[in-house]
Amino acid sequence: MSNYFLARHVHVCSMPSEAIVLDLRADRYLSFNKDQVSVLARQVRGWPASNEETRAVSEEDARAFAAQLLTMGILTADASRGKCVDAPIPNTIAKALLEEHEEATSHSRPSSVAKFVIALARTQFSFRCRSLYHAIAQFDRSKRRHGRLHIASSDELKQLVQTFSRLRPYFFVQQYQCLFDSLVLANFLLLHAVDSNVVIGVTASPFEAHAWVQSQTCVLNGSADYARRFQPILTV
């Protein structure tokens, strides 16, 4: 019987023989093997059942495992503080906006420079003074409150992303900061009333995580081939 819910700040990516969990509040990933997944499928609302053959787990061990996850804040018994496990998020990438090493051709207008600085300051404050959870939540709230977002054309996106790419080296280094870079870019686009999504994806065996910004099926910051390697665990 499903007695528990997934905590609202937790996201799951189910794979054939394991599941990866992203805990935004604790800024950590957890990996569960197929035996643990079979326990969670019985205990957690909406957790997909695995077709993998698993060993039998005693009720005592199953309860102890669930209790451990309750203590860690991964699960909750309170429906008002939890959620059913989200449906799997498909990887819908078709192309990248910019070719690798494509030169920036647009000029940086003063208004765009100001919006870049605002987007950077918002993201830095959320990361350094609060947490990853608040950085993601702040972006999500800003999107919901905007009310006038539009899907930009390829030409408009190119102009904005090239402007962003031109300004970025003066403020921070992109390498090894894919999530920070993605949130700054998404906030920058938001200030231009352009709709986009921040996507966090994962792989297993070996584990890797990656983040990118996507507009419909187009990757805005990075390689489409690289991003296709990852299964989305969170889209905002």
- Give the pLDDT of residue 53: 63
Q: Which residues contact 128 (CB under 8 A, 6 or more apart)?
A: none
Residue-wise pLDDT for 14-37, tens only, equals 987 899 999 999 999 999 988 899
- Whether 52 and 17 have beta carbons less than 8 Å apart is answered as yes
| pLDDT value of position 228 | 95
pLDDT band at 46 (very low <50, low <70, confident <90, very high): confident
Q: Are 85 and 7 in contact (CB under 8 A)?
A: no
Site of tokens 């957890």: 30
- The tens digit of pLDDT for each residue in 92-118 reads 999 999 875 555 555 667 789 999 999
3-state SS assignment for residue 15: coil
pLDDT at 186 over 90: yes
Q: Is the pLDDT of residue 40 over 60?
A: yes
Give the containing element (helix H, strand E) for 10: strand 10-14
For residue 203, CA distances in Å to 114, 129, 146, 210, 231 come to: 36, 29, 33, 9, 6
Coil, helix or strand at residue 208: strand
8: left (phi over 0), alpha (psi -120 to 50) or beta: alpha
The arithmetic mean of pLDDT across residues 174-199, rounded, is: 93
Supply 65's token pair.
């495992």
How much is the pTM?
0.91
Q: What pLDDT digit, counting tens, does each position of 120-177 carry?
A: 999 999 888 778 899 999 999 999 998 899 999 999 999 999 999 999 999 988 766 8
- Measured CA to CA, the distance from residue 183 to residue 29 in angstroms comes to 19
What is the structure's pLDDT at 158? 94
Structure tokens at 131: 């947490």
| pLDDT value of residue 135 | 92
